[in-house]
A and B are shown apart, each in its own frame.
Chain A
Amino acid sequence: MKIILIFISPLAALIFSPLFSGIINKVKAFISGRKGQPLLQVYYNLFKLFKKGTIYSSTTSWIFRISPVLIFTFTLAATAFIPVLQIHTGALFKGDFILMLYLLGISRFFLIISAMDTGSAFEGMGASREAFFSALVEPVMFICLINIMKVAHTDSLAAALLDPMTSNSIAMFFSAIPLFILLLVENARIPFDDPSTHLELTMIHEVMILDNSGPSLGMLEYAASIKLWLFSLILALLVIPELPFGLLIKTIVLGLIMIIIAIIVGIIESIMARSQLFRIPQIIFGAGVISFLGFFIITTDILVW
């Protein structure tokens, strides 16, 4: 039984993550007065890409070819630790969050070296930006997750997210806000990066996949939307209150929260300009300060909620 449970979260991510990106696109189009692409356009794009052939630049090596597969697999594997049905994940163990974060970390590592492998000046620039910002993001991410687990008195992220304690504790506030900022940073959203730009010189994530085509581009885009889904899911599970209902209603409520998160991301993308690159570390530091404050309050029991 447990073995089957492991596959539920990745399966949900595979099915629903493109829809999540689609909602964001629709919100953005709506606010700027456009009709916008169909809600399911992300699925169509992926389907189209997987049907195509792939072209590899002659300057690239096997690293470039294997990376999309690894990135996709590791990102998908990371979703297994998040209890999407709000029941046991089947992969709940002590320190599961470390494995989850470093599955994401290793997929990033391959993204960066595959970008460097192309030898393009643009991709090198994007890789260096990604490496720099992710180095800043990682400690903040850890503190946020530790805050949650500290409140739930557990050392497993999945268990903490299942614990209703987290949603009405101080930890929720001090983790949800930085987690939301990290969601935007990690998934290359405005104000940190612009997923819809065509300007190579300003890109972070998009520029690293410039040389990919066909199925390998499809896998990278799929991985990107799974990652966005993963971050939103953690956030949604963190804020979902304790509900005295059955599995179905709880899942529907979780879905609604996910939609609200997508709408908020869409609104932020519509009403904000992209900030200058050197401002990004400042905002990440800001998120770090909030999460650290939370850590301080929780560990010292200053406030009893």
Chain B
Amino acid sequence: MKKIITTIHNNEPIPLNKIPVLNPGEFTEELGALLSSKYHLSAYFADLQNELLYAVCSDAEKGLLYVLAGKVDSGQFISLTPRFPQTQLFEREIFEETGFTPVGHPWLKPVRFPPNSKYKIGEPPFFKMEGDEIHEVAVGPVHAGVIEPGHFRFQCHGEKVYHLEISLGYQHRGIEKKIVSGSNKKNLYLIETAAGDTTIGHTTAYTQILEYLTNNKVSISDNIVRSVALELERCANHVGDIGALAGDAGFLPTHAFCGRIRGDFLNMTALLCGNRFGRGLIVPGGIGYQISDSIIEELSAKIKKGLKEFLDASKLMFDNPSIVARFQSIGELNLENSIDLGIVGPAARAAGITRDIRQDFAYGNYRFSSIPVSGHIRGNVYERAYVRWLEVQVSVKYILDQLNKLNNSDKTSEKSDNKESRPKKNSLIVSLVEGWRGQICHTAITDNEGNFRKYKIYDPSFYNWFGLAQALRNQQISDFPLCNKSFNLSYCGHDL
């Protein structure tokens, strides 16, 4: 039997000609078979140059990625959305980027609205519900809080929400296209701002792609610093969001304390590289700054203090019955729906999916020092907050361990010689990273010269936005802010 599914590992480049090209029917069937085995669809895009569809499914149990390539039949392909909801946004994206039509897609419209699109942003079609007592509440794109723009439409009966449609694209900057045409130097800055609060996560994925394509090895101590930075980013965001959840429930003490402690964690990242979001810290081949022993010492002391203060502040909230009652009763996204929608990150782990890229597709420093996976079972607002609370503690312990290791290791001798080998030509590479929101997936295809021909970025928000819409079904409209904050998804990471 001919092998039609190509298996690769995280960060493993594969020559394009080793990926067998399937007929449209075969492709649909094989992808359907993979998805019905409950594998996560991590990437699904079209390469316009050779008119092929590429799909990458990830098998967390084995730590493998399954790559499929399929032909497009005269600008059309069969939509899998009616059977597998997690493909819906990918198919809409393919439609937006190439014009290939997913036949049978129940709600076909582009994800973003580039200037020459015939669809206009903020204009119908939107879902509509009809009836005498039905009312529609449209929120945004400009919001009362200082947040990014996005349009939300609630179909309500009284206080009850029947459906929420989320229409984004206001932050579209065309990052993926710029990366294809730009030089590597500019690209790093673009990636750092793909989603500003996930700078470390996205740059890690991008530099890994460059490094593995050129076979450029990163030293152990540099990998340690990268993992420390990634965990610091996770801590800062988790702490900030737990505080923000308290604030949205009107519980002021935790809100005020966590807002300040988040700043402390951001300043710890600034200690490493001078920037609170970690810009300039991660560069292809290693890290941009030397980390001295005194910095390591200072960081260890600060992070211990940060954790203690965070635990005190969050205890106020988690010990408060009115908060627990408020959080537990709303925003449930159960295991079945999470799998069907392809949810990633803490939101998925709160629903019982024990999937963590750091463990299942270990990369960088996580290959040498593993990190425990935190989880819960029901996936309501409380449990999403709780999982993140656990992750902060696990991350702080991990950082302390790694700093200890870094202190004992010799930092100067193993600087790699950085030989500039040419990147692999005509290859496909997938890089998965566990950002604080969840799985970050970068996928690149190189051309004859070894330059990027196609670059795809999937922020965890891309996988999770529909999860928020699902979690709000049959909830009260006044519970939306809490549900929203418990996911806290990125607008610009989705819009790119």
- Mark out the residues of chain A between 120 and 154 whose CB falls within 8 Å of any chain B CB in the assembled complex: 121-122, 124-125, 128
A277 and B476: CB pair below 8 A? yes
**8 pairs of residues in contact across A and B, judged by CB atoms under 8 Å:** A31-B252, A121-B137, A196-B250, A198-B144, A199-B248, A201-B477, A201-B481, A273-B320
**Inter-chain contacts of A31 with B (CB < 8 A):** 252-253
What is the bound-complex CA distance between A197 and B244, given in angstroms? 12
Q: Quick one: CB contact mask for A231-249 with B, threshold 8 Å, 1 for yes?
A: 0000000000000000000
Closest chain B residue to A33, Cβ basis:
B256
Inter-subunit contact A200/B251 (CB<8 Å): no
Selected from A122, A125, A271, the residue in CB contact (under 8 A) with B320 is A271
Nearest CB on A from B327, distance (A): 8
Enumerate chain A residues within 8 angstroms of B138, measured Cβ to Cβ: 121
- B326 CB contact (under 8 Å) in A198, A271, A273, A278: A273
Shortest beta-carbon distance from B441 to chain A in Å: 32
Closest to B246 in A: A273
Contacts of A124 in B (CB 8 A): 135
Q: Does B136 contact A (CB under 8 A)?
A: yes
> Any chain A CB within 8 A of the CB of B60?
no
Bound Cα distance from A196 to B329, whole angstroms: 23
Q: In the complex, are the beta carbons of B323 and A273 less than 8 A apart? A: yes
Which residue from chain B places its CB closest to the CB of A31 in the assembled complex? Answer: B253
- Residues of the B chain whose Cβ atoms lie less than 8 Å from the Cβ of A186: none
B124 within 8 A of A: no
A197 touches B256 (CB 8 A): no
Q: A278 — which chain B residues lie within 8 A by C-beta?
A: 159, 476
Q: Which residues of B contact A121 (CB under 8 A)?
A: 135-138
Q: Are B476 and A274 in contact (CB under 8 A)?
A: no
Contact of A274 with B257 at beta-carbon distance under 8 Å, contacts A199-B145, A201-B481 already known: no
Residues of chain A lying within 8 A (CB to CB) of residue B479: 276
Across-interface contacts of B478 in A (CB, < 8 A): 201-202, 276-277
Mark each residue of chain B from 308 to 350: 1 if its CB lies under 8 Å from any CB of chain A, else 0: 0000000000001011011001100000000000000000000
- Decide if B326 touches A270 in the complex (CB within 8 Å): no
Contacts of A34 in B (CB 8 A): 256
**Min CB–CB distance B139 → chain A (angstroms):** 7
Residues in A with CB closer than 8 Å to B246 are 273
Partner of A199, one of B251, B322, B481: B481
The answer for the CA separation of A196 and B326 in the assembled complex, in Å, is: 18
Cross-chain contact B329 with A190 (CB below 8 angstroms) = no
The answer to whether A269 touches B330, judged by C-beta atoms less than 8 angstroms apart, is no
CB neighbours (8 Å) of B465 from chain A are none
* Cβ contact within 8 Å between B251 and A272: yes
B265 within 8 A of partner (CB): no
Interface residues of A in 140-194 (CB under 8 A from B): 190-191, 194
List 7 additional A-B contacts (Cβ < 8 Å) besides A33-B256, A273-B325, A276-B478. A31-B253, A33-B257, A34-B256, A201-B480, A274-B250, A275-B326, A276-B330
The smallest beta-carbon distance between A153 and chain B, in angstroms, is 40
* Across-interface contacts of B480 in A (CB, < 8 A): 201
Residue B52, interface by CB 8 Å: no
Chain A residue with the shortest CB-CB distance to B156:
A125
Question: Chain A interface residue count: which class?
Answer: 20 to 34
Residues of A within 8 A of B320 (CB): 271-273
Check B252 against A202 for contact (C-beta < 8 Å).
Answer: no
Which residues from A are CB-within-8-Å of B253? 31-33, 270-271
Q: Which residues of B contact A (CB under 8 A)?
A: 135-139, 144-145, 158-159, 246, 248-253, 255-257, 320, 322-323, 325-326, 329-330, 476-481
The listed residue with most B CB atoms (<10 A of its CB), out of A32, A34, A201, A274, is A201
Is the CB–CB distance between A197 and B135 below 8 Å?
A: no
Which residues from B are CB-within-8-Å of A275? Answer: 322, 325-326
Q: Indicate the member of A33, A191, A202, A275 with the most B CB atoms within 10 Å.
A: A202
Distance in angstroms from A99 CB to nearest chain B CB is 33
Closest chain A residue, CB of each to CB of B477: A201
B292, chain A: closest CB distance, angstroms: 34
B322→A198 contact, CB < 8 A = no
| Residue in A closest to B480 when the chains form the complex, CB atoms | A201
Inter-chain contact B476/A276, CB cutoff 8 Å: yes
Give the CA-CA distance A281 to B135 in the complex, in Å: 22
CA distance A194 to B247 in the complex (A): 10
Bound-complex Cα distance A199 to B246 (A) = 13
B144 touches A32 (CB 8 A): no
Q: Which B residues are CB-close (under 8 A) to A191?
A: 250, 322
Smallest CB gap from A125: residue in B? B137
Residues B329 and A273 in contact, CB atoms below 8 Å apart = no
Taking a contact as CB atoms under 8 Å apart, the answer to whether A32 and B255 are in contact is: yes
Q: Bound complex: CA of A190 vs CA of B251, how far in Å?
A: 9
CA distance A191 to B321 in the complex (A): 13
CB <8 Å contact, B144 and A200? yes
Check A205 for interface membership: any CB of B closer than 8 A. no
Asked whether A28 is an interface residue with its Cβ less than 8 Å from the other chain, the reply is yes
B135, B144, B246, B478, most chain A CB atoms within 10 A? B478
Q: Is A125 a contact partner of B477 (Cβ separation < 8 A)? A: yes
CA distance A31 to B256 in the complex (A): 10
Which residues of the other chain, A, contact B477 by a CB distance below 8 angstroms?
Answer: 125, 201
CA distance A28 to B253 in the complex (A): 9
Please determine whether A122 and B137 come into contact, CB atoms closer than 8 angstroms: yes
Give complex CA distance A34, B255 in Å: 11
Q: How far, in whole Å, are A199 and B323 apart by their CA atoms in the complex?
A: 17
Report how far A32 CA is from B476 CA in the complex, Å. 28
Known: A121-B136, A125-B137. A198 touches B145 (CB 8 A): yes
Closest-CB distance, A176 to chain B (whole angstroms): 22
- CB A33 to nearest CB in B, in angstroms, measures 6
Residues of chain A within 8 A (CB-CB) of B330 are 276
> Chain A residues near B248 (CB, 8 Å)?
197, 199, 202
Return A59 CB to nearest CB of chain B, in Å. 15
Q: How far is the CA of A200 from the CA of B250 in the complex (A)?
A: 13
Query: Cβ of A199 and Cβ of B159 under 8 Å apart?
Result: no
- Give the distance to chain A from B221, nearest Cβ to Cβ, in Å: 39
Min CB gap A122→B, angstroms: 7
Q: Mark A187-226, 1 if CB is under 8 A from B, else 0.
A: 0001100101111111000000000000000000000000
Q: Which of B136, B144, B252 contacts A270 (CB 8 A)?
A: B252
9 closest Cβ pairs, A-B complex: A274-B250, A32-B256, A32-B252, A273-B249, A194-B250, A199-B481, A273-B322, A32-B253, A202-B478
